[in-house]
């Protein structure tokens, strides 16, 4: 085990081409120019880019880098990279130089034809460009391939359509910047120059033993267990959550922190999660697009470091049935360049008009675009979580807490908020413990969109997904609400009265989305229905919200997506859903046919031999015969379900790609998969552990 002590302050950011490095290494004029572009936007001229590229390369080579890559986020859900070494063509003396030009830094041209484009680009138009996002710092990554200079980039088609996650994210950040500044100016703020969303993503994950993982084809092919009976112990004792971290996992955490710190990711919090073998890591929040990149780095590093510790990191939303799945809490706030958080209510929120306007705008945004927010968290894995009796329900609602709900209540009933509830003293009743002031509001863990002091926490996001999508939606819908309010206020003769009216109006009209109760309760589903809130239960049902007229109007207005881009994204999502379920169905068929049925047949033979032997010995073989009967019956059920699954999977594969096919997978293949799983899980409980062809849930979750 690695027990070296770490000097955090010293290693933090050592592999990042950050502001300190730039200031040290770049000529003053170049540094200033780049800094201006990072802060205000604009285009780098090629000669400046050349100087930056040269310094970046020298720095990277000192860190051992031999290659560079444009690191981008196509619509596959993971990052992509193509590595080029720094070497130039050999010189007459047979040696090479290490070179890296400004052009190579700012623009790349990966073959785009193999990335999902959803019809945006015919395969013969293979050109795609990656463009340097200088607002997210480059870094050197060390792995088995050596050291590589990674340059965060956006990825677009030849005609400028976004083929990735980053491009719309940057566009949405611009939208909220413009509208946020407008709003601040209305309230007399003339000094803040920029408004940026801040994001902190808490990442949940599972760790399992690598050797056991490799004995599970389902985990290998799909990232989740397709079969598996519950062990005698699950998460019911609540003894894992925040429990003492096992030594092997602690070793992993130590190393991952170190790696992340070197990469400038401010890994801060780590703890055990609810399910056995489940954990969480949260960094300190950062500017939205950096937080998105950092979350990708976190996920990649987790996988790598887990391998180094003989484990596998599972990022699937639902690796195990019957225990909690994994998500990602997307903490989101809006901050100015001079440190103002627009979501900070202060001590007396009822007097804070700017905050009340911001808050009611967010309520309006979330209420009107609940479907988009829900869609942004849709992925095949998340279908197992959202609304399935854990994690947040599939219904979007907003938790405000007692204090703000009370202020809102006052606004709605009288048009005026006159007081704010205060936190009281927390009395422990133990003399040696200090009494302290508790918050005015308790937490609520069941709300999908919860106000937590000075930020909103969107809790629906899947553990495996990029957080780019949810933030694109949040930034844009709030920009729209800000924009609409600003339009009215700027036009009005009496701005103060208009602001007051808007706050009351938005609070009243959007009150239905506010819910402070238990989001997991069955009554909430009924109540939400009564309120007319959408309850979108699956990914396939969520995708159409991307292309409604309402969505197209919103995204086109703020130049985040064109209609074509939205349509292409919907196509890609249908396709990726169909592919994911197809792989799962085929994996199930494969495992059932080649591993489980043969194992059970062998076992029935053993049982049959036993029955005969016991009878021959003159004893009663009733128990043995009963077990044999039960096993044979379940085996027959398995075979029947297997044939049925094969049939629907075949039909599905022949369907027209897109919505039709995805819907068929959702409605016909998924239920057939569940039908195959049931008898097999029952068999697992019956069959001798020695002959069961793969490690059990207990082996995976409790023996890490």
Pick the closer one to Mg ion by CB: 255 or 273. 273
The tokens describing 433, both together, are: 């413990």
The tokens describing 569, both together, are: 């994204």
> What is the C-alpha to C-alpha distance for residues 157 and 149, in angstroms, rounded to an integer?
24
The tokens describing 160, both together, are: 């400028």
Cα 504 from chain centre = 34
Least distance from ligand ADP to the Cβ atom of residue 291, Å? 8
Angle value at C-alpha 18, between 14 and 19, nearest 5 degrees = 130
Pick the closer one to Mg ion by CB: 204 or 383. 204
Residue 342 binds to ligand ADP (criterion: CB under 6 A): no
Of the listed pieces 173-181, 300-308, 326-334, 599-607, which binds ligand ADP according to CB under 6 A?
326-334
Pick the closer one to ligand ADP by CB: 79 or 198. 198
Positions 148 through 167 that interact with ligand ADP (CB under 6 A): none
What does 455 interact with, of ligand ADP, Mg ion, none (CB < 5 to 8 A by kind)?
A: ligand ADP
Kindly report the number of other CB atoms within 10 A of residue 125's CB atom. 14
Largest CA distance in the chain: 103
Positions 544 through 573 that interact with ligand ADP (CB under 6 A): none
Residue 329 binds to Mg ion (criterion: CB under 5 A): yes
Binding test (CB under 6 A) with ligand ADP, winner from 455, 464, 666, 677: 455
Of the listed pieces 69-77, 183-191, 312-320, 330-338, which binds ligand ADP according to CB under 6 A?
330-338
The residues that bridge with 634 in the sheet, in sequence order, are: none
Pick the closer one to Mg ion by CB: 443 or 526. 443
Pick the closer one to ligand ADP by CB: 228 or 462. 462
The site map against ligand ADP for 457-476 (x = CB under 6 A) is x-------------------
Kindly report the number of other CB atoms within 10 A of residue 67's CB atom. 18
Pick the closer one to Mg ion by CB: 329 or 464. 329
Residue 455 binds to Mg ion (criterion: CB under 5 A): no
Least distance from Mg ion to the Cβ atom of residue 387, Å? 20
Phi and psi, residue 22, nearest 5°: -65, -45
Pick the closer one to ligand ADP by CB: 331 or 545. 331
Of the listed pieces 40-48, 448-456, 555-563, 588-596, which binds ligand ADP according to CB under 6 A?
448-456
The site map against ligand ADP for 188-207 (x = CB under 6 A) is ----------xxx-x-----
Pick the closer one to ligand ADP by CB: 163 or 199. 199
Least distance from ligand ADP to the Cβ atom of residue 331, Å? 3
> What is the C-alpha to C-alpha distance for residues 559 and 561, in angstroms, rounded to an integer?
6
What does 86 interact with, of Mg ion, ligand ADP, none (CB < 5 to 8 A by kind)?
A: none
The site map against ligand ADP for 405-444 (x = CB under 6 A) is ----------------------------------------
Give the contacts of 520 (CB within 8 A, at least 6 positions apart). Answer: 389, 390, 393, 446
What does 581 interact with, of ligand ADP, Mg ion, none (CB < 5 to 8 A by kind)?
A: none
Residues making up the chain, counted from first to last: 704
534 touches 371 (CB < 8 A): yes
Least distance from Mg ion to the Cβ atom of residue 324, Å? 14
Count Cα neighbours of 348 within 13 Å in the Cβ-side half-sphere: 4
Binding test (CB under 6 A) with ligand ADP, winner from 101, 341, 547, 562: 341
What does 253 interact with, of ligand ADP, Mg ion, none (CB < 5 to 8 A by kind)?
A: none
Give the contacts of 331 (CB within 8 A, at least 6 positions apart). Answer: 199, 200, 201, 202, 285, 452, 455, 456, 457, 458
Least distance from Mg ion to the Cβ atom of residue 202, Å? 5
653 touches 582 (CB < 8 A): yes
Sign of torsion, CA 302 303 305 306? positive
What does 606 interact with, of Mg ion, ligand ADP, none (CB < 5 to 8 A by kind)?
A: none
Pick the closer one to ligand ADP by CB: 298 or 652. 298
Least distance from ligand ADP to the Cβ atom of residue 106, Å? 30
> What is the C-alpha to C-alpha distance for residues 492 and 469, in angstroms, rounded to an integer?
35
Strands 65-72 vs 146-157: parallel, antiparallel or unpaired: parallel
Least distance from ligand ADP to the Cβ atom of residue 274, Å? 13
> What is the C-alpha to C-alpha distance for residues 298 and 309, in angstroms, rounded to an integer?
16
3-state secondary structure 590-656: HHHHHHHHHHHHHHHHHHHHHHHHHHHCCCCCHHHHHHHHHHHHHHHHHHHHHHHHHHHHHHHHCCC
Of the listed pieces 77-85, 237-245, 331-339, 630-638, which binds ligand ADP according to CB under 6 A?
331-339
Cα 304 from chain centre = 18
> What is the C-alpha to C-alpha distance for residues 535 and 525, in angstroms, rounded to an integer?
8
What does 333 interact with, of Mg ion, ligand ADP, none (CB < 5 to 8 A by kind)?
A: ligand ADP
Pick the closer one to Mg ion by CB: 447 or 631. 447
Strands 267-272 vs 128-132: parallel, antiparallel or unpaired: unpaired
Binding test (CB under 6 A) with ligand ADP, winner from 196, 296, 333, 420: 333
Give the contacts of 345 (CB within 8 A, at least 6 positions apart). Answer: 352, 355, 359, 403, 404, 454
The site map against ligand ADP for 277-306 (x = CB under 6 A) is -----xxxx---------------------
207 touches 299 (CB < 8 A): no
What does 104 interact with, of ligand ADP, Mg ion, none (CB < 5 to 8 A by kind)?
A: none
What does 397 interact with, of ligand ADP, Mg ion, none (CB < 5 to 8 A by kind)?
A: none
> What is the C-alpha to C-alpha distance for residues 384 and 387, in angstroms, rounded to an integer?
8
Nearest to 316 by CA among 266, 278, 269: 278
The tokens describing 578, both together, are: 């169909």
Least distance from Mg ion to the Cβ atom of residue 457, Å? 5
Pick the closer one to Mg ion by CB: 240 or 329. 329
Residues that bind Mg ion (CB under 5 A): 329
Residues that bind ligand ADP (CB under 6 A): 198-200, 202, 269, 282-285, 331-333, 341, 452, 454-455, 457
């Amino acid at each position: 085990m690695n027990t070296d002590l770490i000097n955090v302050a010293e290693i933090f950011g050592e592999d990042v081409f950050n502001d300190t490095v730039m200031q040290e290494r770049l000529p003053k004029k170049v540094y200033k120019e780049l800094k201006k572009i990072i802060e205000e936007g604009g285009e780098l001229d090629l000669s400046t880019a050349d100087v930056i590229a040269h310094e970046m390369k020298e720095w990277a080579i000192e860190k051992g880098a031999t290659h560079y890559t444009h690191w981008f986020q196509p619509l596959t859900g993971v990052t992509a990279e193509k590595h080029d070494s720094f070497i130039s063509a050999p010189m007459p003396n047979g040696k090479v130089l290490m070179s890296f030009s400004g052009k190579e830094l700012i623009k790349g041209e990966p073959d785009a034809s193999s990335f999902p484009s959803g019809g945006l680009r015919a395969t013969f138009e293979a050109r795609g460009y990656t463009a340097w996002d200088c607002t997210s710092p480059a870094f050197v990554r060390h792995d088995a391939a050596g050291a590589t200079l990674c340059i965060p980039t956006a990825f677009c088609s030849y005609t400028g359509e976004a083929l990735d996650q980053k491009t719309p994210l940057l566009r949405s950040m611009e939208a909220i910047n413009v509208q946020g500044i407008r709003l601040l100016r209305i309230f007399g703020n003339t000094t803040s120059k920029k408004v940026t969303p801040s994001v902190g993503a808490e990442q949940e994950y599972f760790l399992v033993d690598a050797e056991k993982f490799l004995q599970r084809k389902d985990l290998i092919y799909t990232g989740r267990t397709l079969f598996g009976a519950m062990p005698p112990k699950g998460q019911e004792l609540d003894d894992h959550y925040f429990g003492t971290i096992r030594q092997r996992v602690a070793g992993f955490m130590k190393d991952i922190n170190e790696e992340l710190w070197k990469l400038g990711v401010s890994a801060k919090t780590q703890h055990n999660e609810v399910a056995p073998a489940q954990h969480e890591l949260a960094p300190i929040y950062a500017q939205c697009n950096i937080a998105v990149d950092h979350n990708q780095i976190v996920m990649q590093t987790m996988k790598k470091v887990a391998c180094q510790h003989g484990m596998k990191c599972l990022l699937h939303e639902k690796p195990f049935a019957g225990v909690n799945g994994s998500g990602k809490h997307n903490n989101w706030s809006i901050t100015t360049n001079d440190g103002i958080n627009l979501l900070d209510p202060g001590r007396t929120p009822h007097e804070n008009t700017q905050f009340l306007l911001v808050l009611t705008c967010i309520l309006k945004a979330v209420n009107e675009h609940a479907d988009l927010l829900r869609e942004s968290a849709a992925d095949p894995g998340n279908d197992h979580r959202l609304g399935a009796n854990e994690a947040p329900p599939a219904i979007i609602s907003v938790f405000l807490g007692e204090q703000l709900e009370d202020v809102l209540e006052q606004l709605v009933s009288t048009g005026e908020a006159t007081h704010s509830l205060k936190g009281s003293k927390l009395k422990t009743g133990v003399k040696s413990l200090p009494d302290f002031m508790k918050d005015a509001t308790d937490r609520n863990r069941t709300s999908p969109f919860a106000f937590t002091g000075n930020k909103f926490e969107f809790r629906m996001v899947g553990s495996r997904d990029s957080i780019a999508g949810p933030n694109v939606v949040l930034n844009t819908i709030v920009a729209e609400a800000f924009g609409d309010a600003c339009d009215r206020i700027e036009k009005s003769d009496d701005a103060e009265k208009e602001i007051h009216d808007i706050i009351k109006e938005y609070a009243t009209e959007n009150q239905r989305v506010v819910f402070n109760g238990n989001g997991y309760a069955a009554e909430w589903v009924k109540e939400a229905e009564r309120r007319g809130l959408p309850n979108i239960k699956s990914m396939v049902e969520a995708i159409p919200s991307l292309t409604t007229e309402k969505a197209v109007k919103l995204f086109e207005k703020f130049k985040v997506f064109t209609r074509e881009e939205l349509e292409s994204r919907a196509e890609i999502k249908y396709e990726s859903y169909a592919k994911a379920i197809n792989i799962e169905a085929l994996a199930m068929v494969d495992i059932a046919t080649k591993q489980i049925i043969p194992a059970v047949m062998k076992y029935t033979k053993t049982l049959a031999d036993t029955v005969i032997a016991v009878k021959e010995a003159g004893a009663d073989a009733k128990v043995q015969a009963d077990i044999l009967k039960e096993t044979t019956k379940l085996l027959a059920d398995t075979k029947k379900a297997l044939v049925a699954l094969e049939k629907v999977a075949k039909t599905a594969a022949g369907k027209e790609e897109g919505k039709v096919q995805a819907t068929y997978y959702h409605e016909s293949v998924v239920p057939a998969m569940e039908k195959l799983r049931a008898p097999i899980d029952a068999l697992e409980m019956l069959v001798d552990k020695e002959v069961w062809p793969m490690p059990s849930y207990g082996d995976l979750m409790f023996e890490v």
